[in-house]
């Protein structure tokens, strides 16, 4: 997943991720270009999920916007 894919539909994807993990805040999901690992780390810290699960959830949230 590249930066453009994340950035383009991020506001919609944030809503879907908040539905999946209600304890995430806007600050947790703040996207900064070039700092994807930091974003995924914040999500992992809040949810306790594996990075693999988080990557998959983000990809699903973004790809469902393009369907």
More reliable by pLDDT, 31 or 14 = 14
* Average predicted confidence (pLDDT) for the chain: 85
Distance CA(47)–CA(54), nearest Å, equals 9
d(CA 29, CA 11): 9
Q: Do 23 and 42 touch, CB atoms closer than 8 A?
A: no
Note the pLDDT tens digit of each residue in 34-54: 788 899 999 999 999 999 999
Residue 35 is given by DSSP the state: -
Segment 48-64 shows an average pLDDT of 90
Residue 16's contacts (CB-CB under 8 Å, 6 or more residues apart) are: 60, 61, 64
């Amino acid at each position: 997943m590249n930066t453009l894919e994340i950035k383009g539909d991020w506001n919609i994807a944030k809503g879907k991720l908040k539905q999946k993990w209600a304890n995430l805040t806007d600050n947790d999901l703040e996207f900064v270009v070039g700092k994807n690992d930091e974003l995924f780390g914040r999500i992992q810290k809040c949810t306790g999920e594996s990075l693999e699960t988080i990557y998959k959830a983000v990809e699903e949230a973004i790809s469902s916007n393009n369907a």
